[in-house]
Amino acid sequence: MTDHKLPGHPHFAYRGNDLFAEDLMVSELASLHGTPLFVYSKAAMLSALAAYQRGFAGRDVQICYAMKANSSLGVLQVFAGAGCGFDIVSGGELERVLAAGGQANKIIFSGVGKTRAEMRQALAAGIGCFNVESEAELDVLSGVAAAMNLRAPVSIRVNPNVDPKTHPYISTGLKGNKFGVAHEDALRIYQHAAALPGLQVAGIDCHIGSQITETTPYLDAMDRVLDLVASIESAGIELEHIDFGGGLGINYNGDTPPEADVLWRQLLAKLDARGYGSKKLMIEPGRSLVGNAGICLTEVLYLKPGEQKNFCIIDAAMNDLPRPAMYQAFHAIVPAVAGGPAPATTYDVVGPVCESGDWIGRDRPLAVNAGDVLAVLSAGAYCMSMASNYNTRGRAAEVLVDGSQAHLIRRREDAQDQMRHEQLVAE
């Protein structure tokens, strides 16, 4: 039987009418584990990682998975086992990395609002580097490290003022964004960092946004960062590494981002031409490693015709899949079993949450009946990691598929799980 692979999802394919994740029928996974259910393909994650590894062959590069995209322990375990480092943005994420078997010295701590407690936690663990995002943070981190008789390795995140041409909520490298220090202030701030007793300058960092589908913003940002490297090193401050962040997009709806190996061949050629090809590199991919490695299975509860809209009401909601409500994002929606008897009708696919913003897809042609299972595609990134318990809905279960094996990596939450840390007031 010939597989019909889903565009952008090579490890999810129809065999006949049945959708498979690697070698497992997703409708059977839904029957076994219930819905909503996140299903991840291990092979898809490793295949996405391999594209970066091909692009960096022969180079001194540390790939740090940006775990805010998906911080489930079973997912982190895959990347730890593949030798990745991790980009974290909180003390909780640090604990997750260590629990999943990640190495502390391969951890980069990013984010604009690190607390003193998180700094102490990360220093005690022996992380590889802090990506510092403000001059005030430098002073605080130096004080915290000095009080522990340590020197914190730092890389300063520079805002290159490059337009990544993505959604404004996930643009991070423009002057109006909260991230990083201004390009024109960077040399002075590096000189300040080098003079602080609790810091050891290690590198320079740049990250311009997420879901980037064009090459030009990366090339422009690299030019601006390398200009700064030249100025900083001319001032006598040696930089051991250059961190170019992440942000490479995936195919959600006919998007055509460059393949990771193709993109990095171009970036490395520019790096070589500028004379920095021997520098250690760090990158922080997230969405591009996990986004198209995951789907969310959901049951059709009701079909509700209306004068202006037809609604397909499913058991997944904005608390499970927040991207449409938050970014007006597109996720393809396909049946777990194709070729059913129902006629195709145009529906808005919506969830049970009491918000008009609780929609998963607008104007989708679907041939479905109540009780059918749908697969929401490209759900591996920024879905479970942003999931909530709104309306006291338990977070979904998660399954990691490895060939013909399925591993439950998160059991479904119930109301008792959610109320565990709450208590009534004594009367």
CATH of the domain at 223: 3.20.20.10
Higher pLDDT, 160 or 105: 105
The whole-number pLDDT of residue 407 equals 98
pLDDT at residue 15 tops 50? yes
- Report pLDDT digits (tens) over 230-288: 999 999 999 999 999 888 899 999 888 889 999 999 999 999 999 999 999 999 999 99
For 105, 205, 231, 236, the CA distances from 239, given in Å and listed in that order, are: 18, 11, 11, 10
Per the listing, tokens 């998963």 go with 360
Do 255 and 326 share a structural domain?
no
| Separation between Cα atoms, residue 323 and residue 152, nearest integer Å | 36
Q: How high is the pLDDT of residue 246? A: 86
pTM: 0.94
> Where in the sequence numbering do the catalytic residues fall?
354
The mean-pLDDT minimum among 18-22, 61-65, 164-168 falls in 164-168
182 shares its domain with 327: no
Indicate whether 58 belongs to any domain. no
Number of domains within the chain: 2
- Distance (Å, whole) CA 157 – CA 135: 11
What angle, 0 to 180 degrees and rounded to 10, lies between the N-to-C axes of helices 42-55 and 73-81?
A: 40
Do residues 280 and 305 both lie within one domain? no
Q: CA–CA separation, 412 vs 369, rounded Å? A: 25
User: Which structural domain range is residue 209 located in?
Assistant: 110-285
> Cα dist. 6→20, 51, 107, 151, 374 in Å?
10, 19, 34, 49, 14
CA distance 202 to 192: 14
Number of other CB atoms surrounding residue 280 within 10 Å: 15
pLDDT digits (tens, 9 = 90+) for 269-281: 999 999 999 999 9
Looking at the fold, whether 223 and 336 belong to one and the same domain comes out as no
Q: What integer pLDDT is reported at residue 173 of this predicted model?
A: 41
pLDDT at 59 over 50: yes
- Which of 262, 285, 308 lies at the terminal end of a domain, its last residue? 285
* Domain identity same for 133 and 272: yes
Q: In the structure encoding, which two tokens stand for residue 81, read together?
A: 């086992």
Closest Cα to residue 409, out of 11, 39, 34? 39
Q: Tell me, what CATH number does 9's domain have?
A: 2.40.37.10
Separation between Cα atoms, residue 22 and residue 13, nearest integer Å: 8
Euclidean distance between CA atoms 354 and 362, whole angstroms: 17
Residue that terminates a domain, selected from 285, 306, 332? 285
Which of 285, 308, 327 terminates a domain? The answer is 285
**Higher-scoring residue by pLDDT: 223, 208:** 223
Asked if 273 and 314 sit in the same domain, the reply is no
Q: Which two tokens stand for residue 320?
A: 């499970």
User: Residues 339-350: pLDDT tens digits?
Assistant: 877 788 999 999
- Residue 161 scores a pLDDT above 80: no
Q: Is 322 within the bounds of a domain?
A: yes
Q: Over 80: is that where the pLDDT of 167 sits? A: no
If asked whether residues 280 and 296 sit together in one domain, one would say: no
Asked whether residue 410 is domain-assigned, the answer is yes
In order of 59, 60, 228, 297, the CA distances from 276 in angstroms are 12, 12, 12, 46
